[in-house]
Structure 1
Amino acid sequence: MPDVEGGASVRSQGHDSVNRYSDALRVFRERVSSKVTKIRELPTGRVSTAFDGGDASYDNPVIIDMVPEEDSVPQTSVLPTSNDTEYDDLISQAEEWKQRHCDANLHEVCFTTTRFIAGLFDEQGGMLNMDHMGIRLFVPPGAIEGEAKLIYMYIAKDLQYMPSIDLTQARVGPTIFCGPQGIGFLERVILSYEHCANIDDASTKLVPMFTSSRPNENLDYKSLDEEEDVLVIKRRGRCSILISHFTGFSSIATSTSPDLPAEIYMNLVVYSSLVQATATRMILRLYFVHKTADAIQMVACEEESINGVKRTPFTTWSFKTNLDATSLLEIENNWTTRNPKLTIPADTLRENLYVTKSYMLLKRDTIIENSLVGSVHVTQAGQSDDLKETLHILAQENEDKMIKRKAIPMRSSVLLKQPLRRTLKELLDPDGLVDWRMFAHELELDDMIPKLEKQKHGSPTYELLNTWEATRSRNDAEDWLHLQQIFEKIGRKDAVTEILKAKSEMNYVELDCSKK
């Protein structure tokens, strides 16, 4: 964030608050006096993860808009600077990690940073989980043959690595590079990630995309819908793609009609600078964030790096991609702001994973109590309804509302082992009254049935089991029960018997291992 918000206001808490902000504003005026937009990178903090290998890097540069009035706060939108070597550097580190862990238990270790994860995979398969970003990569049993291979995912944050869009489109999901680039598999692997396109809206179409280029090359994205060897599952808030080789992937939302805009979901949340008991100024930052875990995670990293304090929950808002948005701050008691109304251009919201707008608040000298009561209203032109968030801020609440990091990327094993998969394939693949098609129906994958019927190679049952496993809850007991109930519902007692048998054998093995 700009110096006026995150630098002096947070890190110099021992100085007088008025002098602190005066110094910050002076620095900022010097930066914008030339009328040229400048970029400032935040200091990089490095935190080791709980898993073997890697550091988490929380560097989040932002672009600063010029500020016409003396006491206005810079308005910011996400436009990270390019780092052409980051991708290759992380791969090199992962390769070195591989050499150190070639004799380790493949299913328990991984190399991970905030936006990169790598693990070793053999014929048993497994999953790379970046649940803090809503992303999973599932490698089914039998997809890899021969010696263990290093498999990895890289989540790009630079706009230059993302698909280009026009006025009828919007970016709606993470940009993910899977590697090694071009590697093929004997069975389709599944990449599953979140998106924020409102696919329930008739004017909005979700378009998953791919590029054969690496992040540091010229990127040419194409629609995955046009690829014959790829299966795409589009659901509300999540997209899963079944692929036979690795490349780069992303998603956009596009309008189905020139007269109607596409619609996406965004989260709105308010953060602030730390508020001391003697503070006379405060920064409120309003974030417009894609309703996807990866975008929310980037905001959390941004605020954590400047000791930001979360003031409201994440609230979902439906955004039409052709209309500017307006935010209005109303203060009810002892604080004032010079510019309560801010405009967020539609193209900025369409192009960025998140956008920040900031308010500078001044405290009246005659007020002793250090609290703030107010509300933030957000509207789009032509919409009668607006979104309102109420603010109740006290200085003593700072500690409780500090950002806390939770989920960590990890490598996990396959739940359904190969023997059970083969048995279920033998039971369900042959055509019958209750075959794999009924299984697909219970998984709400009816749209996959025609595609699976046309494929000349591979097992429809395998594809369905892989899809189920790639998106399961990862609570093993609940997932076993869920699968059992599906086959009970369609009357396949033979499949239920095999599932209970496999579950019993797995529990016995786990119990035996725990005794050792």
Structure 2
Amino acid sequence: MEEDYNQTDVTPYFTPYSCANCECCLAVEGSGIVLLVSCVLIAFFLFAVLPPLIAIFHRRRKSRPHKENSESQIQDLNDLETVELNSNVLQRETGNVNEGYLYVETECEIINKDSAFRTCIEKAEVWKSALTSTNYDQNAFCLPYFRAGIFDKRGGSLTFEEAGITLLIPPGAIQQPTPQLIYIYLHNGNQNSLGITSNMMATSPVVFCGPSGMKFNERVLLSYQHCANIINNNVELITLRTETEPDQIPNFYNLSDDNDSLTLVKGNTVTLMLPHFTGHTTVVQCEQESVPIVQEKWLDLMLFSSQMQEDEYYLQVRLYCSNQTPDARYLILEDERLLNGSMCSPTTPFLFAHVSDLTVLLNPEGDWTVTGGKTKQVISRKCLIENVRVPCVYLLEYDKDKMVTSTKCRVHVTQDEREESHGKIIDVLVKTQKSAEPEKVPNTRLVRRRLLLPYPLRESIRKKLDVPNTLGKDWKHLAYSIGYDDCIHQWEDQLRKGLIFSPTNELLNIWESTRSGDEKHDLEEILEIFKNMERLDVLSDITSLNLTV
């Protein structure tokens, strides 16, 4: 018999509401109420309580410079190079593109350290190919650590002013018939990776000029700064050369081994006369035949801090002890730009002797304390000798329940605990800042500059002054006039050996590389020099050309 589904009583399957007195049903109903209340509480927590907690945590984490994060962030500076391309920042770095003097990159990127140099070269080549103007002395390509320009037979100069580096190409020096892309690359790693021997102390930047190996008809001029203490010591600076590229492991040797080069030292300026492009640096020797020699160099103590924002109660203070040279300052400012740091004290000079470590003691004032209580730190002599660019880091904090809008502290730097002659006390003040404003400095310089004295005029002056004069009114008098009379014997020696043919040309190169840049003033200066030399024939040559400035 078939079952009639239409007549089947289905009431028993739907009787939950018909058994109100059933204990099982009462339990189910109670569980539903509990579940509903739980959902309401969870929703209240998610939408009313959790967001403020997340905001507080984020603010604390942003403001607190954890030690492990700080160390890794500082270490990243040695692994990465940032191409700073914020338009406001570039006003200081590369000027205004509308001035026609400089080229400004406009996109932001991170360059891996292993490929930084190659990337700069590739970008410079693209810039060169896109350049339509043949007025090369008013165009230059600029990136952090890198400057480039185009040069032809007329020569010119390329200046890396922030790093204190100048490269001058004399007229007629370039052998190639076509314009050449020439660059300066500032090594931005630590000196300990350069293979400098342990008995030498780094006192200058490591500068690469290129294309590497490029040869010239006449020696080019490269100048940079050193920080060796040469006033009270009989210090002999040693210039090193490497034939390697900037992205290769260098192999340095003494430049004095090359008879075709010349090193001149005046004050804190090192000037090299070079027949071809390579990499260079200058050091002092701290040991000779196993006998230690106490050598000194000047350091800059530079203090930076993290930004102190409102409602933040953690602060990081970073002390750099670097060479007192423009390039070292430039590299530290680039590092601090990555860290968004602020200089919190004027730069302080420090005379460092290579024989011992430096001791740093930080004493915070008021409610600030040093995290971990470690107020004393030691910077090893090895790091200072090699000019390792890693700061001494302090983490400060205060009670979050108190309102603090500034911090004061005192940093005491000593060597061998000789406070009288080897100690420096630096007062630090950091105030609350709502936002960090980029430094805006108007651009008043030319990275790529023409030579004031054209080639025909230089040739005329050379022919007149290279010939010995019985009254001493020759190239030696010119050397005296520009302050290089103590280097005359070096040129005389190279003349005897047939290594140079015109000391006058090299003296004119030195004058061109050190002139002010105000062409009207510079022209008056060179006229005054030859007037004092009583060389009316040279004065006549200059005035007859009617140089326009």
User: Where on the TM-score scale, by shorter chain, does this alignment land: which range?
Assistant: 0.7 to 0.9
- For structure 1, which segment, 358-367 or 417-426, has the greater mean C-alpha deviation from structure 2 after superposition? 358-367
Change (3 A) 1:225 1:200: farther
Query: Structure 2 CA distance, aligned partners of 1:55 and 1:294?
Result: 24
Which residue of the partner structure matches residue 363 of structure 2? 330
1:86 aligns with 2:86: no
Aligned match for 2:103, one of 46, 52, 59: 52
Deviations 1:406-447 (A, max 9, x none): 768721111111132122223311111211101111222124
Q: Is the 8 A contact 1:213 1:247 kept in 2?
A: yes
- Per-residue deviation at 1:169? 1.7
For residue 173 of structure 2, the aligned residue among 136, 143, 162 is 143
Per-residue deviation, 1:463:
0.9
Partner SS, residue 238 of structure 2: strand
Counterparts of 1:389-468 in structure 2, within 5 Å, are: 389-396=426-433, 403-404=439-440, 410-432=447-469, 433=471, 434-453=473-492, 454-455=494-495, 456=498, 457-468=500-511
Q: Residues 19 and 133 of structure 1: is their aligned pair in 2 closer, same or farther, counting only changes over 3 Å?
A: same
Mapped to 2, the partners of 1:275 and 1:310 lie a distance apart of 12
Alignment pair present for 1:339 and 2:404: no
Structure 2 counterpart of 1:10: none
Deviation at 1:164, TM superposition (A): 2.4
Matching residue of 1:67: none
Gaps of 5+ in 2: 1-53
* Alignment partner of 2:237 out of 174, 182, 206: 206
User: Which is higher, the Rg of structure 1 or of structure 2?
Assistant: 2
Question: Is 1:479 the counterpart of 2:530 in the alignment?
Answer: no
Q: 1:304 aligns with which of 337, 342, 345?
A: 337
Q: What are the ranges of 5 or more consecutive residues in structure 1 without an aligned counterpart?
A: 1-12, 61-81, 508-516
Aligned mates of 2:446, 2:336 — CA distance in 1: 20
| Offset of residue 272 of structure 1 | 0.8
Equivalent position of 1:7 in the other structure:
none
Equivalent position of 1:19 in the other structure: 60
Aligned residues of 2:196 and 2:252 also touching (Cα < 8 A)? no
Q: 1:152 aligns with which of 174, 183, 186?
A: 183
| Distance apart, 1:143 and its partner CA | 0.9
What SS is found at the alignment partner of 2:138? coil
The percentage of counterpart residues that share the same residue type is 29
Is 2:192–2:386's contact at 8 Å kept on the other side of the alignment? no
Distance across 2 between alignment mates of 1:313 and 1:171: 24
Change (3 A) 1:483 1:29: closer
Question: Quick one: distance in 2 between partners of 1:38 and 1:239?
Answer: 31
Match status 1:178 vs 2:209: yes
Q: Distance in 1 between matches of 2:491 and 2:234?
A: 28
TM-score, with structure 2 as normaliser? 0.77
Q: Give the CA deviation at 1:317.
A: 1.2
Pair 1:505-2:547 in alignment: yes
Say which of 120, 124, 132 aligns to 2:162.
132
Pairing 1:228–2:275 present: no
Structure number with the higher helix fraction is 2
State the secondary structure of the residue aligned to 1:505: coil
* Paired residue type of 1:101: L
Residues 235 and 430 (structure 1), Cα distance of their counterparts in 2 relative to 1, 3 Å cut: same
Looking at structure 2, the residues matched to 92 and 349 of structure 1 have their Cα atoms a distance apart, in angstroms, of 34
Q: How many angstroms apart in 1 are the aligned matches of 2:416 and 2:310?
A: 39
Q: After TM superposition, give the deviation of residue 101 of structure 1 in Å.
A: 2.1
Say if 2:204 and 2:226, in contact at 8 Å, map to a contact too.
Answer: yes
Q: Give, in angstroms, the shift of residue 55 of structure 1.
A: 6.5
Contact 1:57 1:114 in 2 (8 A): no
> In the alignment, what sits opposite 2:49?
none
Task: Tell me which amino acid in the other structure corresponds to 2:394.
Answer: Y
**8 Å CA contact 1:287, 1:354 repeated in 2:** yes
* CA 17–476 in structure 1, closer or farther in 2 if over 3 Å, else same: farther
Say if 1:58 and 1:464 are closer, same or farther in 2 by CA, change over 3 A. Answer: farther
* Alpha-carbon separation, structure 1, partners of 2:415 and 2:529: 44
Aligned to 1:361: 396
Cα contact 2:140–2:148 (8 A) shared by 1: yes
Whether contact under 8 Å (2:360, 2:376) holds in the other structure is: yes
Letter matched to residue 495 of structure 1: V
Deviation per CA, 1:132-172: give whole Å up to 9, x if none: 11111100111124221221222222347964234432222
Secondary structure at the residue paired with 1:452? helix
Distance 2:231 2:282 in 1: 16
**Are the equivalent residues in 2 in contact too, given 1:327–1:377 (CA < 8 A)?**
yes
Please state if 1:318 is matched with 2:351.
yes
Cα RMSD between the aligned structures?
3.2
Q: Is the 8 A contact 1:169 1:262 kept in 2?
A: no
CA drift at 1:190:
0.4
Q: CA deviation at 1:275?
A: 1.1
1:273 aligns with 2:300: no
